[in-house]
Amino acid sequence: MNGILYMDVSVFEDVLLYEKGKTLLSAERRMYMEKLKNPKAARLSLGAGVLLFFALQKCNYTEQLEKIKKTPLGKPYLKGIDFQFNLSHSGTYALCAYSNRNIGADLQQIKEKLPEKTEKILSKDETSFLAKFTQPEQTQLFYRLWARKESLIKWDGRGLRLPLQEISFIKNGTLTDILEWEDKTLYFKEYPKINENYAACICKEGADFALNAEEITAEMLKFF
């Protein structure tokens, strides 16, 4: 069981769709979302919750929506069933990855310029690797690397306690999709077809990833 769902949350600028989407959320997420004062943040939270609903529905676990718990460090999970998930959002897109194994997912909107203090995120090998490319290529690669590291963080569940600058995705001078992390072998897969202006990456043990990401559209929402 492996799947990747995504959506452009701009569809929730439509008031009717916004209200429809809220009916698909857990009570806890709905309460959280309604407290958000920033409309953009509210749409992103709504989108993530809607994607989780669709993921649970595809696996016949819809009744589990109200049973989501969180670890002491805030990672959401469902106890006692063969369903792991992770949510992410950036820009105007939301993402949900699900599997029968622990999974981490991250989505990064690619900006025009590199952020400041990239040395806090990149290893020395990664910094040297990026230096070989043009500025636009460096920016694209940076966000791809950042998405990989954030997906690792979310897989791990310990948050920003991980030393990002000590983790390197460069092996033998090239970008690798496999990382030996502590006592685990982790695999990473990118989904560039979601949108060329976003970097999306999934992290988990085992290389049995979903082949493609599935878009959840406004039309699909209307059936619920």
Q: What are the structure tokens assigned to 7, written together?
A: 């959506």
Q: What is the pLDDT of residues 200-223, one digit of tens each?
A: 999 999 999 999 999 999 999 888
Which H helix or E strand runs over 32? Answer: helix 27-35
- Of 60, 58, 141, 50, give the one whose Cα is nearest residue 87: 50
Res. 159 pLDDT band, cuts 50 70 90: low
Angle of helix 15-22 relative to helix 39-58, nearest 10 degrees?
A: 50
- How many whole angstroms separate alpha carbon 191 and alpha carbon 202? 8
Measured distance CA(108)–CA(110) in Å, rounded: 6
Give tens-digit pLDDT for 120-153.
889 999 999 999 999 999 999 999 999 999 999 9
Of the spans 58-72, 95-109, 157-171, which averages the highest pLDDT? 95-109
In Å, how far from its chain's centre is CA 110?
A: 14
pTM for this entry: 0.94
CA 207, 213, 216, 219 torsion-angle sign: negative
pLDDT tens readout for residues 163-172: 888 899 999 8
Q: How far apart are CA 31 and CA 190, in angstroms?
A: 32
Residue 156 and residue 162 in contact, taking contact as beta carbons nearer than 8 Å: yes
